[in-house]
Structure 1
Amino acid sequence: MFRAAALAMLLSCTAQAAEPARIRFGLQDDIAPFVMPDRHSGLMVDVLRDAMATQGITADFLYLPQKRTEEALRKGVVDVTTGAKPVMMLPGVMSRWPITSFHNLAITRRANLPRLDSVADLARYRVTAFNGASRMLGQDYRDAVQGNARYSEPLTLQSPLLVLKQVDVVISQRDIFNYYLDRQSYLREGDFDLVYHDILGKPNEYWFAFRTAEMRDSFERGIAALYKSGDIDRIFARYNKAYGTSREFFRPLDCRFASVKPKDC
């Protein structure tokens, strides 16, 4: 009887050990093609899923508005939030280095507005920006847009408004802008050659905050494994083919792990 009980306990422990571990990631829900909740995919989703799989861990995803991802970590709803910075007072541990980078640009139609010299110029034009831009892009940006009655931050980026001549400037990361531009129905009017003005300062880099150091270490080992195997290049190639997506979003990872590093790392 004792042997039977011991054997049952051993089998139970073995079964539990065989069950894959899981990590719950809280992801911002409005940054396609990096996160596409309706398809349960996206460049970041696929990279995280495949990185964790190299460690025998299943990645689960909860798609949230950006301002709710921190709260989800604090309440234990997720194990990882992907929009953290070292200055934030978050529970758990921070990644050892930044993971993602948002290089936001001021985008205009060349025929209408071929040149912007500084962020202060935005005060004079019809501007639409991604939701939360005035919180994230610094004081100079806030000073430029706070008195502009023709400034807006809709919940979903309205890229087509630019080619429809309903706004003069769109503030966005290039890949996100192009994704929404290509996937919304509208009639393009006239010349829609675009100019991407780099007037908004340095890219915003984001760290990940993990509930435990063990989760962080597993994630970082998984990312290193993706680069070593070349699988991450295949993911990038797939999204470039489907959506024209660049590698810019994961520039911090390329600077750390890629065999050929971007300039100015």
Structure 2
Amino acid sequence: MLTSVLALTDVRMIKMGCFLLLLFSLTSQAQEKPPLQVLVGMNKPPYVQIETSDGFELELLREIVLRMGYRAEFTHVPNKRIQTLLQQGIGDIATLQPMNNAQSELFYSCPYIRYQNVVVSLEAESLSIMQFNDLRDLSLLAFQNASQLLGDDYRQAVENSYKYRETVEQSSQVESLHKKRVQALVMDVNIFYYHHDKISPPQQVKIHPLFPASYYRAAFRKAEDAKAFDAALKAVLQDDKYHLLQERYRINAQSLVEGACEGSR
């Protein structure tokens, strides 16, 4: 029995040694090449945290680029400008590109990340929100540009409501709900819980899953770069480090991107 335990420990040590050797080799190779300039969005914890240069999305992209044999350097710009800057020759990788984006001069990766927008209300309010029409008479605070990004049914439900607002400050969204300044929020579920968990004491909430998942790709000017990104992404998704990142940042169900590679070019 002791022999078996020792053998198992030896196997684990060998695997760890191989992983560290591979990581050292990749890092050494990456440091010898010019870094890839990655265009990413503004501060959006737990995905993007500018002050500390981390967050789930940044660390995931950093690991993917390392597997491509490069070091990542991030340039933070508003989401609306990311694709335009790449088309103008600025940066090497444009992140957070919706699945319906397909500019003919660019090449797209498989989805590398999944966001899940939801409606959130206080459990004590006992709101019944089963369809978009249920939002019409509610005081609703959404993230910036939600009415342009979440589909026609959502836009039609909120466009004539004087109780509907959008904000760039997502921490203030959660605060407004807890102080009962609004009845419901529209935002990504992981962003909500990031801010919700910092409120003391937090109130019980109800999650209303009205929206489908949103998958996002990376865009490139060269087809070979998109293919290299996909190969690196596949390796990262199969690695334990990916799941450790999910746990560290408390990200839900991100592994679903593994089955969402459609429409790449």
TM-score category (smaller protein): 0.7 to 0.9
- Paired positions, count: 230
The alpha-carbon deviation at position 18 of structure 1 amounts to 7.5
- Residue matched to 1:247: 253
For structure 2, the residue ranges without an aligned partner over 5 or more in a row are 1-29
Whichever residue aligns with residue 45 of structure 1, its letter is L
- Residue matched to 1:133: 146
CA contact (8 A) 2:31 2:71 kept: no
SS of aligned partner of 1:39: coil
2-structure distance, mates of 1:233, 1:142? 35
Q: Pick from 85, 101, 105: which aligns with 1:91?
A: 105
Whichever residue aligns with residue 137 of structure 1, its letter is L
**What pairs up with 1:92-171 in 2 under 5 angstroms?**
92-95=106-109, 97-157=110-170, 158-171=173-186
Whichever residue aligns with residue 44 of structure 2, its letter is I
Query: Which deviates more, 118-127 or 19-28?
Result: 19-28
Alignment of 1:35 with 2:45, yes or no, is no
CA spacing shift, 1:165–1:90, aligned 2, 3 Å:
farther
- Residue matched to 1:206: 216
1-structure distance, mates of 2:183, 2:123? 10
SS of aligned partner of 1:215: helix
Whichever residue aligns with residue 118 of structure 1, its letter is Q
CA spacing shift, 1:222–1:21, aligned 2, 3 Å:
farther
Q: Deviations over 1:204-224 (max 9, x none)?
A: 222211121222222222222
- Residue matched to 1:68: 81
Tell me the percent identity: 24
The alpha-carbon deviation at position 228 of structure 1 amounts to 3.8
The alpha-carbon deviation at position 86 of structure 1 amounts to 4.5
TM-score of the superposed pair, with normalisation by structure 2 = 0.78
- Residue matched to 2:71: 58
- Residue matched to 2:33: 20
CA contact (8 A) 1:74 1:90 kept: no
1-structure distance, mates of 2:69, 2:34? 7
Q: Pick from 167, 190, 212: which aligns with 1:175?
A: 190
2-structure distance, mates of 1:20, 1:235? 26
CA spacing shift, 1:77–1:162, aligned 2, 3 Å:
same
Alignment of 1:219 with 2:195, yes or no, is no
CA contact (8 A) 2:57 2:113 kept: no
2-structure distance, mates of 1:246, 1:18? 33
1-structure distance, mates of 2:247, 2:122? 28
CA spacing shift, 1:239–1:55, aligned 2, 3 Å:
same
Query: Which deviates more, 229-238 or 139-148?
Result: 229-238
The alpha-carbon deviation at position 256 of structure 1 amounts to 6.5
SS of aligned partner of 1:143: helix
SS of aligned partner of 1:170: strand
Alignment of 1:234 with 2:244, yes or no, is yes
Whichever residue aligns with residue 23 of structure 1, its letter is L
- Residue matched to 1:194: 205
